[in-house]
Chains A and B, each alone.
Chain A
């Protein structure tokens, strides 16, 4: 693997991530505290890693409720977390 990094925007902040990484892994690596806010207001983060639990939902390039574990990072991708249900 090359050491090339690519840049994405996480909650408006530029972040360098490793190519090939899923959005879920990339967000966990930069220690995003919460992917989504639950119905009663608790922070939630990925559990199943395979598209089943829907806990990793994030807004990707403006499209809400994307399963971050099923998407691979792309240069310039805009990822927003912590939104409600």
Chain B
């Protein structure tokens, strides 16, 4: 296994829109910049290239800008630890090739978000996917032709995913939005200032017109023996059975703030607190994108540009700052409109698994515990995902704030953690 050390001014973790914008901007301001990303290429989740149809044009434009910039991109590389050492930060990561260590002056965390999965009976069956999960798998080559699909979740992600599944030949049976009709109507009405979004939504809806879109509705139960056969659909008054062989479910996004928390950045709930320049409470650490609030790709790009400029010692423009503040208000409205309703939080039965890694059931947990106690008594949150799935779920279902983050933030090879970079590697730095 290789052990390679890089030295740079700015290390950007994550190459989604926020990370790409940060890296392009930091490199443009003259900083030696390295971007690390777990994916096979830049783009993150929203700009994940599709095996069949490639990238949307805005994505390719930014990815090309990244390619033309002086920033070095380390793909298929997960950052597993981070710490401050004097006036530097040391990040350690791994790829299939070996271990890497990045020694840098500033860090921009653009680690994005993952879906909020909430437990319900049957949610562990094969062919129950996330909504973004189904989109990611579809783009990475999943064949959905002829599959009968139910989508149950909340928020603006439902439309594009339903549309792309339908375009790929899936038979959309039902798209269930848990938010009330009134909430959705009022949200849509608020979009009058952005008619292009309305047009886009209408065109997406047209592409899965064969399926019902129902508000105030959710899947309460998935059934099947070893694989999904169907779901129970509820609306608070009555339930009905719907046959399907694929269920996509998710109730919003959870920021990936493990590294920020490891580096001691102050949080407000799950989100990192930042100042006007996207600087966190830890000097030298910046964060941009979903880590600061779920604002989508537009907010991520603006925040990335601001963070990249600030991390490189440049001053972000007033226009960028104004745009960022406007987009932050949109994010708040989205969060309010699509917050999971109470019924969604109590679908799990005592025998329902809540921690998928450790197979801990809801009945094993005691409401008087903390997340830490649940870990110690039942191993909930101690498996390979390190509580990324059950931590957010139990915060929602049990009201438990997630436990502290420890290094390494995800499973890593021992050779990554023990690699001696001073001896084993040829120290290299970017141009």
Chain B interface residue count, Cβ-Cβ cutoff 8 angstroms: 41
Q: Taking chain B's interface residues, is the majority helix, strand, or loop, or is none over half, making it mixed?
A: loop
A24 to B96, CA, bound (A): 17
Residues of B near A54 (CB, < 8 A) are 357, 383-385, 411
Given the contacts A47-B130, A65-B411, A18 and B51 also touching, CB distance less than 8 Å = yes
Given A43-B226, A44-B356, A69-B137, A29:B142 Cβ within 8 A? yes
A-B contact count (CB 8 A): 120
Chain A residues touching B, majority SS: loop
Known: A42-B359, A44-B124. A50 touches B141 (CB 8 A): no
Judge whether A47 and B133 touch: CB under 8 Å.
Answer: yes
Residues of B within 8 A of A43 (CB): 126, 226-227
Q: How far is the CA of A65 from the CA of B357 in the complex (A)?
A: 13
CB distance from B358 to the nearest CB of A (A): 6
Q: Which residues of A contact B40 (CB under 8 A)?
A: 70, 72
Number of A interface residues in the complex (CB < 8 A): 38
CB distance from A47 to the nearest CB of B (A): 6
Given contacts A48-B136, A53-B389, 20 further A-B contacts (CB under 8 A): A1-B51, A18-B141, A20-B51, A21-B140, A28-B143, A38-B359, A40-B359, A44-B124, A47-B133, A47-B356, A48-B130, A48-B132, A50-B132, A52-B385, A52-B388, A52-B389, A53-B388, A69-B137, A69-B140, A85-B383
Ordered by A's residue number, 27 sampled pairs between the chains whose C-beta atoms are within 8 Å are: A18-B51, A24-B140, A25-B137, A28-B137, A28-B142, A33-B226, A35-B126, A38-B356, A42-B124, A43-B226, A43-B227, A46-B137, A47-B356, A48-B114, A48-B132, A48-B133, A49-B132, A49-B134, A49-B135, A50-B136, A51-B78, A53-B133, A53-B385, A54-B357, A55-B356, A57-B384, A65-B411
- B residues at A contact (CB < 8 Å): 38-40, 45, 51-52, 76, 78, 96, 114-115, 117, 124, 126-130, 132-137, 140-143, 226-227, 256, 356-359, 383-385, 388-389, 411
